[in-house]
């Protein structure tokens, strides 16, 4: 047992670190570090740099631009890209629809979609959640009815992250209304420019426009855009979500955030000293660091186990990573609000009114509270933490 990286793994990490810090524009990395909103261009620019170096889609099959990295190398990549405050390749493209098409799609679909999915020439959105189908995703109601060689889609998707930038959306749709829940669902690719699609922004409590509602009103989709077999979409969705396992805890990112909290606490005056001199603050920060260390090792154990273990038996690890990872991410954003103190209050940046006034306090403090508000989402999305506890209790503890 040795928790340290081997010299080869250290060399691999150091190469990545140099690459990230020299090839990704510093301004983009600064935005990530400060938790500011990234523009569409920031994300596209980054992904194209990564793609030019063969690093946009490391988890894809080799023939479609993947890397034959070991589980440890994949883990190092995931951690290091976060720790260097580099925007990760767009998850909808790279972790979700890409692997589904590469695994279950037709040859024609692969050739049509995979290259432009890798380069972000197609920006994908995820059309899973609906107003009545959140944690209970399988109760989704959006229908796709085959008429000739077209599906006619009707219904509504919601929480569509960055849907305002999307060229295409991959949707779970009900193709057999008579079948029981999971059984009548298919996986359909829809061009966002198709007539009958309306997108409406949802402004979240941080004031940002990150998510959307998407309405489908007699949207006609070529039948060839159905991935895999009809009524098997639920299996593909489960496959897609299992790809999220590595990196779901976002440990690298939280590490970087906590280091920044520490730095800012040392620079932010508080009475006779700095925020850093407050022992209560320091204790809370220490707890976050300690819990993060435990989670990091938990994640490393999961990665190491992937080398040897067959993955078909129930495994609670992704639920554990989700629960603890989201809690610690939220703690880090809260600590940042605490460091900002009274200057967490001013709100010069009012996106929905098109206003972007100069900062009142320190510039970094503007983003502190919005980030904290925004991060309440991380214990809700991807299967809420309560759903994760249900999974642990039922699938692993047998309750």
Partner 1 sequence: MDFDLTDEQRMLSESVNRLLTHAYGDFEHRKGYRAAPRGFADANWQALAEMGLLGLPFDEADGGFGGGPVETMIVMEAFGRGLVLEPFLATVVLAGGLLRRAGSEAQREAILPSVVEGSMVLAFAHQERQARHDLHDVATAARRDGADWVLDGAKGVVLAGDSADRIIVSARTSGARRDREGISLFLLDPATPGVTRRGYATQDGLRAAELVLEGARVPADALLGHEGQALPLIELVVDEANAALCAEALGAMDVLRDLTVDYLKQRQQFGQAIGNFQALQHRAADMLVATEQARSMAMYAAMMVQSGDAAARRTALSAAKALVAKLADQLGKDAIQLHGGIAMTEEYKAGHYFKRLTMIGTLFGDVDHHLRVVVAAGGLPEAV
Q: Which is nearer to partner 1, 200 or 287 (CB)?
A: 287
Alpha carbon distance 35, 352 (integer Å): 18
**251-267 and 71-83 helices cross at what angle (nearest 10)?**
30
Question: Following CA atoms 326, 327, 333, 336 in sequence, which dihedral angle do they give, to the nearest 10 degrees?
Answer: -150
| Smallest distance, partner 1 to C-beta of residue 394, A | 8
In this structure, are residues 118 and 56 in contact, taking their beta carbons and an 8 Å threshold? yes
Residues of this chain, 62-81, that bind partner 1 according to CB under 8 A: 72
- B/e letters for 103-133, b = 16+ CB within 10 Å, e = fewer, are bbbeeebbebbbeebbbbebbbbbbbbbeeb
* 317 forms part of the interface with partner 1 (CB under 8 A): yes
Per DSSP (E only), the strands in 133-208 are 143-147, 150-157, 168-174, 185-191, 197-203
For partner 1 (CB under 8 A), the number of binding residues is 47
Residues of this chain, 93-112, that bind partner 1 according to CB under 8 A: none
By three-state DSSP, how is residue 174 classified?
strand
Residues of this chain, 114-173, that bind partner 1 according to CB under 8 A: none
| Smallest distance, partner 1 to C-beta of residue 292, A | 9
Residues of this chain, 357-386, that bind partner 1 according to CB under 8 A: 386
Residues of this chain, 226-285, that bind partner 1 according to CB under 8 A: 262, 279, 282-283, 285
What contacts 96, CB < 8 A, 6 or more positions away? 124, 126, 170, 240, 243
Q: Which is nearer to partner 1, 73 or 161 (CB)?
A: 73
Alpha carbon distance 13, 34 (integer Å): 23
| Smallest distance, partner 1 to C-beta of residue 34, A | 21
* 3 forms part of the interface with partner 1 (CB under 8 A): yes
Q: Which is nearer to partner 1, 177 or 279 (CB)?
A: 279
Q: Which of 11, 203, 290, 355 binds partner 1 (CB under 8 A)?
A: 290
Q: Which is nearer to partner 1, 154 or 390 (CB)?
A: 390
User: And the tokens for 64?
Assistant: 């479609």
Q: Which of 5, 69, 239, 373 binds partner 1 (CB under 8 A)?
A: 5
H-run or E-run covering 270:
strand 269-270
* 189 forms part of the interface with partner 1 (CB under 8 A): no
Burial class (CB in 10 A: 0-12, 13-18, 19+), 358: exposed
* 298 forms part of the interface with partner 1 (CB under 8 A): yes
Q: Which of 240, 303, 335, 336 binds partner 1 (CB under 8 A)?
A: 303
* 180 forms part of the interface with partner 1 (CB under 8 A): no
* 320 forms part of the interface with partner 1 (CB under 8 A): yes
Burial class (CB in 10 A: 0-12, 13-18, 19+), 147: exposed
The residues with which 216 forms a beta bridge, in sequence order, are 155, 197
**DSSP label at residue 196:** T
14-53 footprint of partner 1 as x/- string (CB under 8 A): ----------------------------------------
Q: Which of 324, 338, 371, 372 binds partner 1 (CB under 8 A)?
A: 324
Alpha carbon distance 166, 162 (integer Å): 7
Active site residues: 244
* Interface ranges with partner 1 (CB under 8 A): 1-6, 9, 72, 262, 279, 282-283, 285-287, 289-291, 293-298, 300-301, 303-305, 308, 316-317, 319-320, 323-324, 386, 388-390, 392-394, 396-399
């Amino acid at each position: 047992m040795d928790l340290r990286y081997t010299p080869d793994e250290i060399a691999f990490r150091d190469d990545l670190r140099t690459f990230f810090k020299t090839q990704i524009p510093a301004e983009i990395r600064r935005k990530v570090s400060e938790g500011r909103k990234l523009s569409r261009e920031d994300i596209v620019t980054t992904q194209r740099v990564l793609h030019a170096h063969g690093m946009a889609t490391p988890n894809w099959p080799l023939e479609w631009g993947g890397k034959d990295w070991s589980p440890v190398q994949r883990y190092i990549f995931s951690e290091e890209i976060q720790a260097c405050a580099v925007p990760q390749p767009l998850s909808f493209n790279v972790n979700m629809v890409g692997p589904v098409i590469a695994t279950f799609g037709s040859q024609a679909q692969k050739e049509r979609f995979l290259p432009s999915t890798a380069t972000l020439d197609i920006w994908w959105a995820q059309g899973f959640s609906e107003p009545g189908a959140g944690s209970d995703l399988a109760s989704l109601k959006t229908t796709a009815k085959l008429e000739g060689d077209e599906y006619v889609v009707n219904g509504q998707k919601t929480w569509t992250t960055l849907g305002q930038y999307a060229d295409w959306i991959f949707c779970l749709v009900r193709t057999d209304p008579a079948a029981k829940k999971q059984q009548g669902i298919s996986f359909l690719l829809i061009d966002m420019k198709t007539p009958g699609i309306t997108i409406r922004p949802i402004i979240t409590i941080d004031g940002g426009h990150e998510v959307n509602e998407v309405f489908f009103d007699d949207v006609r989709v070529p039948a060839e855009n159905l991935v895999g077999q009809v009524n098997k979409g639920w299996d593909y969705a489960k496959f897609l979500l299992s790809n999220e396992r590595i990196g779901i805890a976002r440990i690298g990112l939280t590490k970087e955030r906590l280091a920044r909290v520490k730095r800012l606490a040392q620079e932010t005056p508080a009475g006779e000293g700095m925020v850093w001199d407050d022992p209560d603050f320091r204790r809370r920060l220490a707890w976050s660091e300690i819990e993060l260390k435990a989670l990091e090792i938990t994640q490393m154990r999961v990665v190491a186990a992937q080398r040897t273990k067959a993955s078909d038996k129930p495994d609670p690890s992704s639920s554990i990573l989700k629960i603890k990872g989201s809690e610690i991410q939220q703690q880090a954003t809260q600590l940042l609000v605490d460091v900002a103190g009274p200057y967490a209050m001013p709100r010069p940046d009012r996106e929905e009114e098109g206003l972007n006034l100069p900062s009142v306090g320190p510039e970094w403090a503007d983003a502190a509270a919005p980030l904290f508000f925004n991060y309440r989402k991380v214990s809700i999305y991807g299967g809420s933490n309560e759903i994760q506890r249900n999974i642990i209790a039922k699938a692993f503890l047998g309750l």
